[in-house]
Amino acid sequence: MSALVGTMRSLKFSRELVLLGVLIALIVVMTLLDPLFLTPITMLNTSRFFVEVGLMALGMTLIIITGGIDLSVGSNLALVSVAVGFSFAAGLPLPLAILFGLVVGVAAGLFNGLFITLLNVHPLVVTLGTLALFQGLAYGISKAQAVSDFPGWFAYFGQAYLGPIPGQLFIFVMAVAVVWVILSRTSFGRYVYAIGNNEEAARFSGVPIRKVKLALYSGIGLLVGMAAVIYTSRVYTARGDSGVGLELDVISAVVLGGASIYGGSGTIGGTVLGVLIIATLRNGLILAGVPSTWQLFVLGVLLLAAVFVNEFFRKGEE
C-alpha cells in the first residue's frame, strides 16, 4: 500500500493532462449513459451554462493564488442583477443600466478589497460578511420582486447564437485570453504568485501588496458584473436570489483545476478544465435523469475530494 502511494507520488505528472483525462473519461461515461450527450449541439449548449461560473472562476483563480478567497461572488451577482433590472425599471436607459450594474459589481469588489487591505482582516471573514450584506441588499432593494420586461435586444448577451455557437462563449474565450496574459506574461502576474508564496517576503521585495489585492478584488467584481449581465439576459429576469450558492461552483472549479487553497500555485488552464469538468458533470447528471437533489451532494463531495487530492500530490512533489 505504502509502496503504491510512493509510486503515485513519485510520478512526474502534469496536472492539466490528468484533468484532461478526467474530462474525457467523464464525457465517455456520459455518452454511454445517454447517446445524445456527445453531439455538437449538446456540447455547445452546455457552454451556455458554464460561462457565468467560468468568468468568476478566472478572477477567483488569481485571488486563491494570493492565498485569499471571495465568498461573496454569488451575492454580488444577485446585487448586480438587481441593480441592472431595477435601475432599468426606474427609467434608466438599458445601456446605462448595464453600465451601472458593472459599476456596482466593481464597487462591491473594491469594498471587499478596501476592507481586507485597510483592516488587514482575513478575506474569508470580510467576504462572509459581504456574502450576507450583498444578498440582503439585493433582496431589500428588489423587495423580493422580479423585473423581466426588458427590450428584445437585451437577450443578445445571454441567448444569442453566432452560427451554432452561443454568443457568450466568445466573451469567455476573450476573458480567458486576457486573464491568462495578465497572470503569465506580466509583472502583475508574478506579484500574484509572490504574494501567495510568501506575503512577508513579497513585501520586503517591494511588491505593492495593497494595490495588487485591491486590483484583484475589484477585478473579480468586474467579472462578476459581466457574469451577472449574461445571467440576467439568459434567464431574462432580474431577481434578488440570482446566483445563490454559485460561490461553491466557482471555488470548486478553481480548486479542481489545481490551485492550492493555501496560495502560491494555480493556472488559468487548470481552472478552465475545472470549469469544463463541473459543467459536464452537472449537465450529464441532468441528462442522465439523476435527481437535482444529488447535484449539491456530488458538488460538495467533489470539492472536498479535489482539495484532498491536490494537497496529497503536492506533498509528493515537495
Partner 1 sequence: MSETRAPTPTERGGAGGESVRRFLARPAAPALAFLAVLLVAFTLANDRFLTASNLESIVDSVAVLGIIALAVNQVILCAEIDISTGSMLGLCAIAAGAVSLSTGGILLPLLAGVAVGALAGAINGALVTLGRIPAIIVTLGMLYALRGVILLVTGGTWITGVPEPTRFLGTGKVLGISVPVLILFGLFLVMELVNRHSTWGRNVFAVGGNRVAARFAGLPVNRVRFVAFTLVGVFVGIASMIYLGRAGSVQTNTGVGLELQAVAAVVIGGTSISGGRGSSLAALTGAVLIGVILNGLILMGVPGIWQDAVLGGLILLAVTTDVLRRRLVGDKA
CA–CA distance, 186 with 126 (Å, rounded to integer):
28
The span from the first CA to the last CA of the chain, in angstroms, equals 20
CA–CA distance, 110 with 119 (Å, rounded to integer):
14
Which of 107, 262, 287, 313 touches partner 1 (CB under 8 A)? 262
Query: Using CB under 8 A, which of the segments 51-59, 131-139, 176-184, 195-203 binds partner 1?
Result: 131-139
Beta-strand relationship, 165-166 and 161-162: antiparallel
Q: Are 255 and 261 in contact (CB under 8 A)?
A: yes
The answer to the question of residue 121 lying near partner 1 (CB under 8 A) is: yes
Which of 6, 21, 95, 140 touches partner 1 (CB under 8 A)? 140
Of residues 102 and 251, the one with the C-beta less far from partner 1: 251
Minimum separation from the CB atom of position 238 to partner 1 (A): 15
CA–CA distance, 186 with 127 (Å, rounded to integer):
27
The answer to the question of residue 133 lying near partner 1 (CB under 8 A) is: yes
Q: What is the dihedral of CA 259, 274, 300, 221, to 10 degrees?
A: 70
Tell me the number of residues near partner 1 by CB under 8 A: 46
Which of 143, 151, 200, 204 touches partner 1 (CB under 8 A)? 143
Enumerate residues 270-309 that contact partner 1 by CB under 8 A.
293-301, 303-304, 307-308
CA–CA distance, 16 with 70 (Å, rounded to integer):
24
Within 10 angstroms of residue 311's Cβ, the number of other Cβ atoms is: 13
Which of 130, 242, 265, 283 touches partner 1 (CB under 8 A)? 130
Query: Using CB under 8 A, which of the segments 96-104, 172-180, 197-205, 242-250 binds partner 1?
Result: 242-250
Of residues 48 and 239, the one with the C-beta less far from partner 1: 239
Query: What's the farthest any 2 CA atoms get from each other in the chain?
Result: 69
CA–CA distance, 79 with 221 (Å, rounded to integer):
11
Strands (E), 99-191: 161-162, 165-166
Minimum separation from the CB atom of position 73 to partner 1 (A): 13
Of residues 5 and 96, the one with the C-beta less far from partner 1: 5
CA distances from 288 to 25, 50, 53, 295 (A): 16, 18, 22, 12
Enumerate residues 171-230 that contact partner 1 by CB under 8 A.
none
Residue bearing cell 452537472: 282
Enumerate residues 27-86 that contact partner 1 by CB under 8 A.
69, 71
Query: Which residues bind to partner 1, rule: CB under 8 A?
Result: 69, 71, 115, 119-122, 124-126, 128-137, 139-140, 143-144, 240, 245, 247-248, 251, 255, 261-262, 293-301, 303-304, 307-308, 311
